[in-house]
Structure formats: structure tokens, C-alpha cells
């Protein structure tokens, strides 16, 4: 039973996490940092949230109001704050890793998937004890399938808010964006928990069905919204790459063919996989270093010009030299 709970609880969330990490097509976030985000949700955030919920448990008798306050208010506040602690630390200590809105969504969703995996595991164990394998499978379908994206999109809002603050040149937006993002995550979380708690106390099947459908609609609209904002971040990354690397082509820093490849994940993949299939490991590595340096150059240019971060001048010069070295005739393999 424990083995099945582990499989049903963790495998879907790991799969979701790998997908959103894979979708970051231009500048992959470090796998170690992405894994740390997932692991934070997996255990530390769960423990912090559980301690906070126990400490803040309302001194009320069993009933609707106690459940609404506990699950509909305290739980969302405790869980989104516990998950958001890692994101706040990330943005304080490793803010240079955040280049777009998608990066904020990515790290927020990774923390959420880790949190959901452990939470689902414990719920599945309980369902298995009470109702056996059938109950466990039914609950897994609900939690990993229908509601499987919830924790990721709740915390994705927090990540988006912090990313917006990081990418904004205006001080006022840097103050309110993280609070709005965190508040949106708490709000959607409270809506989900609150409606389900309320209809569970009605004891009416029709009302319960309407409530469940309302929650599902709200959850999926929220998930689509936060995902759309993340994809908008990816689209903006492509615009930056197009604009700033176009200028580097004019400067003679970047060959036009490499410029076109940097703008297309498919072209980059085709070139690198072609080298790998030929057994040309040096060319495979050279292309990876070249694309990485070029795309990072575009992001640093954007941060310098759009955000006014003049500290990137030396890094921009270094990246240009790196690109020149990697595109020198002596370094280029056969196409």
C-alpha cells in the first residue's frame, strides 16, 4: 500500500515538474536550483505549514465555522507563506537567475508540485487504510488528475509576483507585485478549500455537485491564467532575443545563422542533436556553450538597458568575447 501511495503521489508531480522545466526553451534554469525548489515543497514547506496550522487552530467547537476558518483561511495562509519562503529567499539571494516572468512561474510551480506530492501521499495512505486500493485509485484520480495543478498554480502566482518585481524598473511595482501575487495564490487556495468545506456541510447531493463543479471551473481557470502569464514571459524572452541579438549581428559579434538558431528552440535542438548523432561531442558542447552565451547576452542587455542595471557592462563585454571565441573558424566543426 505504501509503495502504491508513493507511486501515485509522487510520479505525477515529478512528471508535471519536469514538463514545466522542459518548457523553458531559451535559458534553462539550473537543474540543481530547480530540484531544490521541488524539494523545498516536498518536505520543509509541508513541515512549516503543518506547525503553523496547528499553532493557529481556532479554539472553536467542531462544525462549519471551525472548518471554514481552519481549512478555508488558516491553511491557505500557512501553506502559501511556507511555500513562498523559498521563493523570497531565491529572489533575495539568486535574483540574477530570474530573467522573465516564466522563471518566476517555474520556480513557484516547482515548489507547489513538491508540496502536492507529499500531501497527496499522506491523503492516499489514509484513503487506502479506510477503503483499500479502489479508494486510493479514486482519490489519486481526483488529486493528481483533476486537482493536480492546484498547488503549482497557487504558488505560481507568488513566483510571478516576485518575477514582476525583479523585472520592473519602478520601485512602487517592486513593492506591490509580490504582495498581489502571494494574495492571488492565497485567494484561489481559500476559494478552493472554502467551497469544498461549505458544500460538505450541506449534506445535499445536488448542492455538493454544483459546488464541486464550481471549484473545478475556478481551479482550471486559475491554472490557465497563471500558465498563460508564464507563456507570456517566454514570448517576451523571444522578443528580447530577437531585438538584442539582432543588434549583435549588426555589430559583427554574432553570425546571422547562429542568430536564427537562438530564436528557435527547434533549430537549436536540430543542430545539437545532429552533432550528437554524429558522435561529435566537442561540437555538441560548443553549440551548447554558444547558444547559452548568446541568449544570456540578450538577457543581460535587456537588464542593463530596460532596467538600468549598469553593473552588467563587464559581463556583457565578457559574453561578447566568449561568443567570438566560440565562433572562431578554428572552433567550428563540420555542419
Quote the pLDDT of residue 211.
85
pLDDT on residue 333: 52
Q: Which residues contact 27 (CB under 8 A, 6 or more apart)?
A: 99, 237, 292, 295, 296, 299
3-state secondary structure of 28: coil
Q: What is the pLDDT of residue 330?
A: 62
Q: What is the pLDDT of residue 207?
A: 75
DSSP character at residue 59: -
Q: Which residue has the cell 543542430?
A: 271
Terminal CA-to-CA distance of the chain, rounded, Å?
53
Q: CA 311: distance to chain centroid?
A: 27
Contact 225, 245 (CB under 8 A): no
Cα-only R_g, the chain: 23
Where would I find the H helices in the chain? 2-22, 31-42, 44-55, 64-69, 75-93, 101-140, 150-166, 171-200, 205-251, 256-263, 265-277, 281-305, 313-326
Buried b (16+ CB within 10 A) or exposed e, 159-176: bbbbbbbbbbeeeeeeee
Residue 236 near residue 100 (C-beta atoms within 8 A): yes
pLDDT of residue 334: 45
> How far is residue 15's CA from residue 12's CA, in Å, rounded to a whole number?
5
Q: How far apart are CA 87 and CA 76, in angstroms?
A: 16
Q: Measuring CA to CA, which residue among 79, 22, 62 is closest to residue 265? A: 22
Digits of tens for pLDDT over the chain (335 positions)?
Answer: 789 999 999 999 999 999 999 998 888 888 999 999 999 999 999 999 999 999 999 888 888 899 999 999 999 999 999 999 999 999 999 888 888 999 999 999 999 999 999 999 999 999 999 989 999 999 999 999 999 999 999 999 999 999 999 988 777 778 899 999 999 999 999 999 999 999 888 777 777 788 889 999 999 999 999 999 999 999 999 999 999 999 999 999 999 999 999 999 899 999 999 999 999 999 999 999 999 999 999 999 999 998 888 899 999 999 999 999 999 876 665 44
Amino acid at each position: 500500500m505504501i509503495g502504491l501511495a508513493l507511486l501515485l503521489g509522487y510520479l505525477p508531480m515529478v512528471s508535471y515538474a519536469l514538463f514545466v522545466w522542459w518548457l523553458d526553451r531559451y535559458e534553462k534554469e539550473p537543474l540543481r536550483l530547480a530540484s531544490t525548489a521541488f524539494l523545498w515543497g516536498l518536505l520543509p514547506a509541508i513541515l512549516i505549514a503543518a506547525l503553523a496550522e496547528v499553532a493557529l487552530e481556532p479554539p472553536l467547537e467542531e462544525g462549519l465555522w471551525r472548518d471554514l476558518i481552519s481549512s478555508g483561511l488558516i491553511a491557505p495562509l500557512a501553506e502559501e507563506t511556507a511555500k513562498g519562503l523559498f521563493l523570497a529567499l531565491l529572489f533575495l539571494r539568486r535574483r540574477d537567475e530570474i530573467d522573465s516572468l516564466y522563471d518566476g512561474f517555474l520556480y513557484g510551480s516547482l515548489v507547489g508540485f513538491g508540496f502536492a506530492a507529499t500531501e497527496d501521499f499522506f491523503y492516499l495512505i489514509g484513503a487506502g487504510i479506510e477503503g483499500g486500493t479502489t479508494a486510493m485509485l479514486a482519490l489519486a484520480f481526483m488529486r493528481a488528475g483533476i486537482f493536480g495543478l492546484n498547488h503549482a498554480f497557487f504558488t505560481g502566482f507568488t513566483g510571478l509576483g516576485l518575477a514582476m518585481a525583479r523585472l520592473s524598473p519602478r520601485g512602487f511595482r517592486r513593492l506591490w507585485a509580490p504582495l498581489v501575487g502571494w494574495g492571488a495564490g492565497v485567494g484561489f487556495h481559500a476559494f478552493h478549500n472554502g467551497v469544498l468545506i461549505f458544500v460538505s456541510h450541506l449534506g445535499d447531493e445536488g448542492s455538493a455537485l454544483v459546488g464541486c463543479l464550481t471549484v473545478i471551473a475556478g481551479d482550471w481557470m486559475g491554472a490557465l491564467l497563471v500558465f498563460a502569464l508564464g507563456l507570456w514571459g517566454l514570448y517576451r524572452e523571444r522578443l528580447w532575443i530577437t531585438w538584442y541579438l539582432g543588434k549583435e549581428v549588426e555589430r559583427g559579434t554574432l553570425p546571422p545563422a547562429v542568430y536564427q538558431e537562438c530564436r528557435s528552440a527547434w533549430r537549436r535542438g536540430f543542430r545539437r542533436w545532429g552533432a550528437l548523432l554524429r558522435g561529435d561531442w566537442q561540437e555538441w558542447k560548443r553549440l551548447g556553450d554558444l547558444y547559452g552565451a548568446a541568449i544570456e547576452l540578450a538577457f543581460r542587455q535587456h537588464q542593463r538597458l530596460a532596467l538600468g542595471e549598469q553593473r552588467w557592462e563587464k559581463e556583457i563585454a565578457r559574453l561578447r568575447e566568449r561568443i567570438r571565441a566560440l565562433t572562431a573558424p578554428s572552433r567550428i566543426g563540420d555542419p
